[in-house]
Amino acid sequence: MERRSDGALLGIAGLNRLRWDPGEIEVGWRLLPSHRGQDLATEAGRAWIGHAFGTLGASRVISVSDLPNHASQAVMRRLGTVVDHHATLKDGEDEFGAVIHAISRETWEA
């Protein structure tokens, strides 16, 4: 993600197929600390979810956060997702507790 006015790097956002569940499409974001709290993640998440449902024809989109990341979970709620389940996931050799939010195409379109 970059700011249109000057090309400054803000962070990253996009869609991903998860290795632990390749049937799902995940929307995610990471912002540089200086650009957090400005609704940029919400704006990017909304655009990518729209792309997943519109262009890609997805029936569901998820978003994954480690349990202590309350800021990302707040973005997920603003995007209309709800808690789908909790899981213990592995990233390499590291395990972490995660909360998985989800939204269906029907809910998004409503």
The candidate with the shortest Cα–Cα distance to 11, out of 77, 99, 72, 61, is: 72
Cα gap 87→22, rounded to integer Å? 16
Cα gap 110→93, rounded to integer Å? 40
CATH H-level, domain 11-109: superfamily = Gcn5-related N-acetyltransferase (GNAT) (3.40.630.30)
In the chain, domain spans: 11-109
Q: Looking at residues 9-34, what average pLDDT do you find?
A: 94
pLDDT (tens digit, 9 = 90+) per residue, 48-61?
999 999 999 999 99
- pTM, entire model: 0.93
Q: Answer yes or no: is pLDDT of 96 > 90.
A: yes
Split at pLDDT 50, 70, 90, the class of 68 is: very high
